[in-house]
Amino acid sequence: MEKTTVRIDLRIMGDEYDPQKVTQKLNIQPTDTWRMGDYIRKTNLKFNYTGWLYSTGEEETLHINTQLRKIESLFLPKTDMLCELKERYLLDFSFDIVISICNHKIPVIYFESPFTQLVAKLDARIDFDIYVN
């Protein structure tokens, strides 16, 4: 039986920077990295930006804050480092919230103050992808 899941990704985007420098500075192993011009997942399409991605992975939950707290615990203490990287390499940040709804079980969706503070400090965007199975 399929269950509703939530995944949160922090995506760091820029034109030409070395994703390894982000890894070294944050001391966090990314889930994925790519460079502008790399092929996108076995397609003929290419990335039009360089990226560094950390993902919580999909987790069965009916509350997005279960996953958001994981992101907060890792990245809130590193806000100054992220801001320094943003300025040095002209980076953009996106928190991608991916929700897969199964059996009409819709998760609770709202943001608590620590997450909104992180988003504001990084001048990040929030992107929702919602799939209904």
* DSSP string covering 108-130: B----HHHHHHHHHHT-EEEEEE
pLDDT of residue 53: 98
pLDDT of residue 118: 96
The tokens of 69 are what? 């707290």
3-state SS, residue 20? helix
End-to-end CA distance of the chain: give it in Å, rounded.
12
Whole-prediction pTM: 0.93
Q: Which domain, by its residues, includes 72?
A: 5-132
pLDDT of residue 69: 95
Q: How far is CA 113 from CA 14, 75, 81, in A?
A: 27, 14, 20
Domain count for the chain, please give it.
Answer: 1
Query: Residue 56 and residue 72: Cα distance in Å, rounded?
Result: 11
Q: What is the pLDDT along the chain (133 residues), one digit of tens a residue?
A: 589 999 999 999 999 899 999 999 999 999 999 999 989 988 899 999 999 999 999 999 999 999 999 999 999 999 999 999 999 999 999 999 999 999 999 999 999 999 999 999 999 999 999 999 8
